[in-house]
Amino acid sequence: MASPVTHIPANTAASANTAFRSALDVVREVEPRVAAAIGAEIEDQRASLKLIASENYASPAVLLAMGNWLSDKYAEGTAGRRFYAGCRNVDTVESLAAEHARALFGAQHAYVQPHSGIDANLVAFWAVLSQRVESPALGRAGVRQVNDLGEQDWAELRRELGNQRMLGMSLDTGGHLTHGFRPNISGKMFDQRSYGTDPATGLIDYAALRATAREFRPLILVAGYSAYPRLVNFRLMREIADEVGATLMVDMAHFAGLVAGKVLTGDFDPVPHAQIVTSTTHKSLRGPRGGLVLCDSELAEHVDRGCPMVLGGPLSHVMAAKAVAFAEARRPEFQDYAQRVVDNAKALAEGLLRRGATLVTGGTDNHLVLADVSGYGLTGRQAEAALLDSGIVTNRNAVPQDPNGAWYTSGVRIGTPALTTRGLGTAEMDEIAGLIDTVLRGTTPAPGSGGTPSKAGYRLDDALRDGVAKRAADLLAGFPLYPGIDLA
């Protein structure tokens, strides 16, 4: 079998080791504590059973592309059209990243500057608003440049448009804060309404969504999630958006790797259906920490204004790493990786179900599983903490209509992108399901004040905890992370 960590080819492992060791030597000369923290991080990552659905391990090529003097350059604007002189090398890496992104996803336009997913979404919101403003058919006649609008113009515009509304997936059914919720600026920019899932099946209720869209008539219909374990029908979403005159925006941050790896195709590939698609680049896509916007040609000029409209100066070193990551994702082995991410999630789900766990929607079709831990008598917070003590890293997450709210929650989100990169397969996933079930069965809520059980405190037998942690460590020992890299 080829090395499961296909992004560390055997012929470059020795060079990568030399590069990381040398880099740390140089850093250590100036601030040894930083060098020590970097060295400790790889050991921490090696030691944990990482099941955070939004995390992964980037390749040495991606990591190394970020540590250089491209970081020193200011480059506001876009390739070939900068507000600073001397940007030819930044132009090269930005153009390459955009070219790879367009080819990888079959997109008409790619904007690779966003620093994060939140930034990518802000760029997208602004692009949709400014397109509407500047379209004589849709916006205020005579206004050609959204930048020229004063306070008074905006007030008038909001009246004229009569529509700064966003319809996104509710937080407790898996939506994301940036899809119009109050703790994020999107919740202030837009009047927001949510769609959710059918309580009986846990699946998106498209009929209810359509009815809400007809009544609410959003400017933007947002699809995408951070904790929904099933596929989304983007063809149907676009049909609904068109029917009510909305722009369909898809936030594919979580599942971009499954789109790139051609696991999500047809109705389930957002790119042919949405006018604008946003993503992070570091989750299932396995690139550097950053964001990405893909869009139809008509939106391109609006998207390209992201910096300086809502973004600070481009991180040219990160754009270089995005170009490398997208090039990696265009290789055939990435498709194999993406398929294994889903196969592993299904194996994990089946393993949990067989042991009696309750899963939202009863399973998964993507890279994550959402376990409702109330059947174990626990809150999500207790389950998360007990699992962490036992060497299993997950994160607590609300389940639909969660009685414990967003802080304590009743669920735990479990994802397979990282461990799949590490090479673990379906047999290991079944064993991990057993470890999770063992920990959750062995955990009880600690007594809280006034005789009611605590929502945070828990009790877990030391021997049980240590036994699971030992088994998790033994399991990981068979799947070395970054083989060939030895910083000791």
Residue number, 238 or 282, with CB nearest to ligand DSN = 282
Residues in contact with ligand DSN, total (CB under 6 A)? 3
Q: Is residue 170 a contact point for ligand DSN (CB under 6 A)?
A: no
Q: Any catalytic annotation for residue 251? A: yes
Q: Any catalytic annotation for residue 283? A: yes
CB 411, min distance to ligand DSN, A: 13
Selected catalytic residue, list 21, 217, 289, 330: 289
Query: Tokens standing for 147?
Result: 């930048």
Residue number, 130 or 192, with CB nearest to ligand DSN = 192
Q: Is residue 361 a contact point for ligand DSN (CB under 6 A)?
A: no
CB 57, min distance to ligand DSN, A: 16
Residue number, 114 or 117, with CB nearest to ligand DSN = 117
Among 7, 16, 48, 54, binds ligand DSN (CB under 6 A): 54
Which residues, 6 or more positions from 265, have their beta carbon under 8 angstroms from its beta carbon?
none
Residue number, 178 or 212, with CB nearest to ligand DSN = 178
Handedness of CA 81, 123, 101, 90 (dihedral sign): positive
CB 226, min distance to ligand DSN, A: 4
Q: Is residue 284 a contact point for ligand DSN (CB under 6 A)?
A: no
Q: Is residue 56 a contact point for ligand DSN (CB under 6 A)?
A: no
Handedness of CA 276, 101, 286, 235 (dihedral sign): positive
Residue number, 106 or 183, with CB nearest to ligand DSN = 183
Measure the CA–CA gap between 418 and 424, rounded to whole angstroms: 9
Using CB under 6 A, which residues numbered 89 to 148 contact ligand DSN?
Answer: 117
Residue number, 291 or 351, with CB nearest to ligand DSN = 291
Q: Is residue 173 a contact point for ligand DSN (CB under 6 A)?
A: no
Measure the CA–CA gap between 227 and 415, rounded to whole angstroms: 10
Selected catalytic residue, list 283, 346, 396, 455: 283
Q: Is residue 409 a contact point for ligand DSN (CB under 6 A)?
A: no
Q: Is residue 394 a contact point for ligand DSN (CB under 6 A)?
A: no
Selected catalytic residue, list 94, 251, 372, 428: 251
Using CB under 6 A, which residues numbered 212 to 251 contact ligand DSN?
Answer: 226
DSSP state letters, 184-237? STHHHHSEEEEE-B-TTT-SB-HHHHHHHHHHH--SEEEEE-SS--S---HHHH
One-letter amino acid of 119: D
CB 116, min distance to ligand DSN, A: 8
Q: What is the enclosing helix (H) or strand (E) of 445?
A: strand 443-447
Using CB under 6 A, which residues numbered 410 to 439 contact ligand DSN?
Answer: none
Q: What is the enclosing helix (H) or strand (E) of 368?
A: strand 368-372
Q: Any catalytic annotation for residue 421? A: no
CB 177, min distance to ligand DSN, A: 7
Measure the CA–CA gap between 210 and 224, rounded to whole angstroms: 16
Measure the CA–CA gap between 372 and 397, rounded to whole angstroms: 9
Which residues, 6 or more positions from 94, have their beta carbon under 8 angstroms from its beta carbon?
75, 78, 79, 112, 113, 314, 316, 319
Instruction: Check if the beta carbon of residue 352 is closer than 8 Å to that of residue 433.
Output: yes
CB 300, min distance to ligand DSN, A: 26
Measure the CA–CA gap between 458 and 446, rounded to whole angstroms: 4
Catalytic residue positions, numbered:
74, 76, 251, 280, 283, 289
Positions that interact with ligand DSN (CB under 6 A): 54, 117, 226
